[in-house]
Chains A and B, each alone.
Chain A
Amino acid sequence: MNPINAMKLKIASFDFTCCEGCQLQLANRESHLIDFFELLDVRNFREISSERHDDYDIALIEGSISRRDEVERLLKIRQQAKVLVAFGTCACFGGINSLKNRFPLDKIVRDVYGDMAVETLPIRKISDLVKVDLSIPGCPVSKEEVERIIVSLATGSQVTLPKYPVCVECKQQLNTCLFELGEICLGPITRAGCNAVCPAGKTACLGCRGPAEEINMPAFLELVQERGLNPRDLQDKLAFYNAFEPLATDET
């Protein structure tokens, strides 16, 4: 028996309603990849392997839930997994898929498929259906963060996410603030951990990592108002990933 192999994490990756971009991040950071997979005993990962085993401990769940067969599959995974991870924004919050919930289901089916019957349910996040042990937000997840979390799980240390907002990471890079460029950016209220990748690329943060802890929402709304920025734009941005509560004043 190899004592190192015995410590490998028995992991499985499952995808639901999503683009599979988060799973794909697992195959990125190629120069670290062989070492990364050394930590893992991949039991089930359809996108890269034809091996399928059901004796995993950790289940990464990518995507949100929008069909009955998905609900059944998720419940079964929950029974097996010791640690069930909501992996990525769709799993954590519903993600962009939730934009569908703005319309009646029969309308969207008709718009896309015409007369053909296609089953679809309103989008739900993973924690709406089963207990989630760990959430890793991001659209897509950041591989660096995933590596750090996997190492924590392998060594039995505590897994933490940054509590502060994206603004902190953005300021550290001395980026021009998007508010200075006349745009609404959700950096002041969104949880950090992405290295402020969007504002660093001069595009507004759309909040894929969800709210930071202890955010000052009234101050943020005041900032948007003071600068005379478009309230509909704010509403669109807050709704983009379904990661923020809709604003009471903006409900129509």
Chain B
Amino acid sequence: MKRKSSLDVHNLTHAKDNSLPLKREYSLDIHHLTRVEGHGNIHITVRNGKLLDARWAIVETPRFFEAMLQGMSAEQVPFLTSRICGICSISHSLASIRALERAMAIVPPPAAEKIRLLAMHGETLQSHALHLFFLIAPDFAGTTSVLPLIQSHPEVVRAGLQLKELGNEISTVTTGRCTHPVSLVVGGVSKAPDKQRLLQIKKMIQERKPALERACTFFQSLTIPDFVRETEFISLSNGTTYPAIGGQLVSTDGVIKDENEYLQMTNEYTAEGSTSKFTRLSRSSSAAGALARFNNNHHLLHPKAQEMANRLALKPICHNPFMNNIAQFVECVHILEDAEELINALLDMELSEIRTHYTPQAGVATGAVEAPRGILYHHFETNNEGRIVKADCIIPTTQNNANIHLDVQAIAEQALNEEKSDEEITKLCEMVVRSYDPCISCSVH
């Protein structure tokens, strides 16, 4: 939903008067950037050695989910909102469910909460593996896609496929399907995972931990571009566990808000020429995602994940956006360990009480979850039949857009000053955008 329109993100600028002796002329126009979800463009213009313009433009077709949700019954809402995204459908489903349960005072059974958490782990693992091995690995290896890597880096590709498959399998066992979950419902889950299949995924987790080790060797070998632009990192935080579903909204600039105060955390605004909106908090931009979660909650990662962070030189508070890739990998280590513990707990539980039956009622609440790409808010107002009167969804990539935009400017400027070639500037700009793992259809929804 729109709240402010007076700000134009394209007026936010880091470009300074940086005349260069070479008086370079350069213009970059990337239409529909590849290896990202959705449609975004990068435009850069250098005239007379000066960076005239550098922008990240979102041209994705809007689908108008907030309008489509109007009148929808609470029961159907998660099946609609999961379709906001083909990668993080479980997160959307759970953000909706959390908002509706809070609005209608429904408490899901403890077993359902564990099943949901395990489902989120599966989704984040497949999403991170897709991004790390399919979308960004080709940049570091100098290829156009993962396909040539099947020949040149078979071990890395195999590790990536093993982790991605494991993530999908966890989601399938917990929610019935890896994309667009079927058994996540308001009140709990409609069907408990089969214990035999839980045992199978536990075995898969144990067998696939060595894949993380093989991948670690690859990530240690990467040259991470030397680029830092200080920003504000926003994530959920609950003080006791690494965040996933619900909690306080916190930032590295010290802001702390309640979940229902999400509007004060996002201050969403529209920008001409962009079908995605933008957000801001204490500065002109902020960042959400794995690096934000790490920067705010690193001490709550599993010790093995903390060890992996050390091995890959990831230290809080890290302001290099390329390290979001490394933070995602560190989270994969955490997920494998935590998923194993969750499965053990579920195997010890009676999985008979999994769904709280409820009477629809009028209410209003926010549901916030940590989707793979960062904090995701769904906010609903229901009528006394439990149908949606008003809906608002604020997406992680929406919260990253201003940061991406300013990073593109800053890295283009830095590369110009370092007298990098046109090709190098192009590649760095593409890579900095990809490091956020943008989910553009999602951000526009």
Interface residues of A (CB under 8 A from B): 15-25, 27-28, 30-31, 33-34, 37, 42, 45-52, 66-67, 70, 95-97, 99-100, 102-103, 107-109, 111-116, 118, 120, 139-140, 197-198, 200-203, 206, 233, 236, 240
Contact = CB atoms under 8 A, between A and B. Distances in A.
B34 A111 contact: no
List the 10 closest A-B pairs by CB distance, nearest first: A21-B86, A201-B176, A49-B145, A114-B2, A201-B182, A30-B165, A108-B67, A202-B190, A50-B144, A201-B183
A103 B67 contact: yes
A48 B190 contact: no
Contact of B178 (A20, A28, A37): A28
A227 to B, nearest CB: 17
Contacts, number: 165
B198 to A, nearest CB: 15
Contact of B38 (A20, A25, A27, A113): A20
A201 B79 CA distance: 13
B412 interface: no
B435 interface: no
Max chain B Cβ within 10 angstroms of own Cβ: one of A42, A113, A240: A113
Contacts of A96: 68, 80, 83
B18 to A, nearest CB: 29
Contact of B67 (A17, A19, A111, A206): A111
Contact of B147 (A37, A52, A111, A240): A37
B37 A112 contact: no
B35 A47 contact: yes
Given A21-B83, A197-B182, A200-B176, A48 B1 contact: no
16 contacts: A17-B63, A20-B441, A46-B34, A48-B134, A50-B34, A52-B34, A97-B63, A112-B1, A116-B5, A116-B270, A120-B61, A203-B182, A203-B183, A206-B79, A233-B73, A236-B76
B145 A50 contact: yes
B245 interface: no
Contacts of B5: 114-116
B341 to A, nearest CB: 24
A116 B191 CA distance: 44
A180 to B, nearest CB: 14
A197 B177 contact: yes
Interface in B56-83: 61-64, 66-68, 70-73, 76, 79-80, 83
Contacts of B62: 112-113, 118, 120
Contacts of B1: 111-112
A72 to B, nearest CB: 13
A201 B86 CA distance: 19
Max chain B Cβ within 10 angstroms of own Cβ: one of A27, A112, A140: A112
A203 B190 contact: yes
Interface string B173-184: 001111110110
B162 interface: yes
Given A30-B162, A100-B63, A100-B64, A42 B147 contact: yes
Given A17-B63, A116-B5, A203-B183, A50 B138 contact: yes
A28 B144 CA distance: 20
Contact of A120 (B35, B64, B68, B178): B64
A34 B89 contact: no
Contact of A19 (B79, B84, B165, B191): B84
Contacts of B182: 197-198, 200-201, 203
B168 A28 contact: yes
Contacts of B175: 201
Given A107-B67, A200-B176, A18 B441 contact: yes
Nearest to B144: A50
B130 interface: yes
Interface string B154-182: 00000001101100100000011111101
B275 interface: yes
Contacts of B63: 17, 66, 97, 100
A163 to B, nearest CB: 23
Contacts of B79: 203, 206, 240
A21 B87 contact: yes
A70 B61 contact: yes
Contacts of A16: 61
Interface in B111-168: 130, 134-135, 138, 144-147, 150, 161-162, 164-165, 168
A18 to B, nearest CB: 7
Contacts of B146: 48-49
Contacts of A114: 2, 5, 270
B257 interface: no
B272 interface: yes
A203 B85 contact: no
Contacts of A17: 61, 63
A39 to B, nearest CB: 13
B144 A51 contact: yes
Nearest to B150: A34
Contacts of A116: 2, 5, 270, 272
Contacts of B150: 34, 37
B335 to A, nearest CB: 17
B24 interface: no
A186 to B, nearest CB: 12
B257 to A, nearest CB: 24
A21 to B, nearest CB: 2
Given A24-B130, A201-B177, A203-B190, 18 more contacts: A20-B38, A24-B87, A27-B130, A30-B162, A49-B144, A103-B70, A108-B64, A112-B2, A112-B67, A115-B2, A116-B272, A120-B64, A197-B177, A201-B182, A201-B191, A203-B79, A203-B183, A206-B76
A17 B66 CA distance: 16
Contacts of B164: 27, 30
B10 interface: no
A52 B89 CA distance: 28
Contacts of B179: 21, 24-25, 28, 140
Contacts of B442: 19
B83 A113 contact: no
Max chain A Cβ within 10 angstroms of own Cβ: one of B71, B84, B165, B177: B177
Nearest to B273: A116
